[in-house]
Structure 1
Amino acid sequence: MRARHKPWADDYLKENHELVELNPAENKGKWQQQISKDKPLHLEIGTGKGQFIEGMAAQYPTIHFIGIEVVKSIIVSAVEKVKDFQHSNVTLINEHAQDLSDLFGDNEIDEMYLNFSDPWPKNRHEKRRLTYHAFLEQYQRILKPNGELVLKTDNRGLFEYSLVSFSQFGCTLEEVTLDLHALEDPTNVMTEYEEKFSAKGQPIYRCRVKFPK
């Protein structure tokens, strides 16, 4: 469903500059000094309305979370959610994640999350999938040598494609699960989509990978 246009979104993001980084490229290579005050940096691509990043910030106050969301009318909901809970360890960015190397320096991120990304099921759209090899090259560059990428999805096709893509890239698969909620993992923080799909009995797939050094 297309998000309803919010004409006030620009002003709202500017008003909440303590949560929203308006010029993220200026922090490239300096995020820890400028934002996290030497806390580990975890990055979520496609933050949506912010349920996951808010839950993670609450569960791990010693980690600083950065969330990227390209749709302005959606990221304002994430700002509202984080603001309500008064988390100081979250920074939100309204940018496209197409070229992360413009925003982050080499070896700057400790962990990354891809949560319920658009599967782009048609073959002609393969290059848009966030686990296409061109994106993996960027993740490898900005992640620290022992950094992990965590992928969650309800889409079996995207999950299978991603496992192959990770393997071909030389990644190490630290975890692969075909039914995340059967694990009853107490550390798992659900996204809005995850709650909706799991309530319908849809299995949730998760994998954790490390990139070749």
Structure 2
Amino acid sequence: MRLRKKWWARPEMEESSLVITEPREYKGRWKDVFNNGNEIYLELGCGRGEFITKNAMANPDKNYIAIDLKDEVLVCVLRKVKEAELTNVRIIPLEIAFITEIFDENEISRIYINFCNPWPKDRHNKRRLTHIRFLEKYKQFIKPGTEIWFKTDNRELFDASLEYMTNCDFELLFYTYDLHSSDFQQNTLTEYENKFVNLGMKIMFLKAKLK
């Protein structure tokens, strides 16, 4: 679904210290942004922010960074974070292909990827956020042992992602083709996930760790 351009979104975001519009300035200095040494968890493609807001509320001893491209969705994230009075979240408008330009070695301790674009055509596969091309980028700034948590409703993307992970020095810790029928207890619902589950769709999930 195409979002209608909201011209007021960027000015509202620029007024808040929670939004980092020039993230390249903070490469290697993200602990200073949060003013603490807590681990930093990253959500790539954060949508309207329900997932990251819930996680930040439940884990005040962790820092969270939400990245997405569209101001129209990020302004919704900002409003949710402000309403919850959270200080452990920062929001970055960014094309994820440029992710290595804003983080330095060992800055990130976990990555969440929820319901990203499956890019089903073969010529577009390399745009997948779980593709080896992206995994190699993440390895430039994640700590050893960092986990990637990935959810999707797309079976072909999920099967390919299992292969990408195992071929890129990640150890599969857990995976399931039906998350909501599994015994995994740490799931946080996203907006999309709520809709999919209500439609009777199965959610696939994997957790992989950098060796």
TM norm structure 1: 0.95
Matched with 1:154 is 153
Match of 1:141, SS? coil
**2:121 equivalent in structure 1:** 122
Q: Distance in 2 between matches of 1:68 and 1:207?
A: 20
In the other structure, the counterpart of 1:15 is 15
2: CA distance between counterparts of 1:183 and 1:167?
22
Q: Which amino acid is the alignment partner of residue 92 of structure 1?
A: I
3-state DSSP class of the match of 2:140? Answer: helix
CA distance in 2, matches of 1:172, 1:100: 22
Q: How many angstroms apart in 2 are the aligned matches of 1:184 and 1:68?
A: 29
Give the equivalent residue in structure 2 for 1:6.
6
| 1:128 partner amino acid | R
What's the secondary structure of 1:34's corresponding residue?
helix
Residue aligning to 2:105: 106
- Superposed displacement of residue 33, structure 1: 2.3
Which is worse superposed, 92-101 or 177-186? 177-186
- Which shows bigger deviation, 203-212 or 30-39? 30-39
1:187 to partner: Cα distance: 2.5
**Counterpart Cα distance in 2 of 1:23 and 1:211:** 29
Aligned residue pairs, count: 211
Determine the C-alpha separation between the residues in 1 that align with 2:35 and 2:67.
Answer: 16
Paired position in structure 2 for 1:48: 47
2:72 partner amino acid: S
Matched with 1:94 is 93
Equivalent pair of 1:36/1:64 in contact (CA under 8 Å): no
Mapping 1:127-142, distance limit 5 Å: 127-142=126-141
Question: Counterpart in 2 of 1:25?
Answer: 24
Deviations 1:55-82 (A, max 9, x none): 1011111101000010111111111111
In the other structure, the counterpart of 2:172 is 173
5+ residue gaps, structure 1, are none
C-alpha change, 1:77 and 1:184, in structure 2 (3 Å) is: farther
What TM-score do the two structures reach when normalised by structure 2? 0.96
Distance verdict in 2 for CA 1:151–1:8, change over 3 Å: same
Note the C-alpha offset of 1:185: 4.1
Q: In structure 1, what is the Cα distance between the partners aligned to 2:109 and 2:141?
A: 9
Computed over aligned residues only, the root mean square deviation of the Cα atoms, in angstroms, reads 1.1
2:202 is equivalent to residue 198 of structure 1 = no
* Structure 2 CA distance for aligned equivalents of residues 186 and 148 of structure 1: 16
Once the two structures are superposed, residues 111-144 of structure 1 have per-residue CA deviations (whole angstroms, 9 ceiling, x without a partner) of 0000000000111101111111110101111110
Displacement of 1:93: 0.3
Instruction: Provide structure 2 residue ranges, at least 5 long, that are not aligned to the other structure.
Output: none
| Residue identity matched to 1:140 | K
User: For residues 194 and 69 of structure 2, what CA distance do their matches in structure 1 show?
Assistant: 22
* Aligned residues with identical type, % of pairs: 38
Structure 2 residue aligned with 1:75: 74
140-149 or 33-42, which deviates more: 33-42
Give the aligned residue type for 2:204. Y
Does 31-40 or 82-91 show the bigger shift? 31-40
Report the Cα offset of residue 43 of structure 1: 0.2
1:210 aligned residue:
209
User: Deviation string for 1:139-186 (max 9, x for gaps)?
Assistant: 111110011111011111110010011111131001111111113644
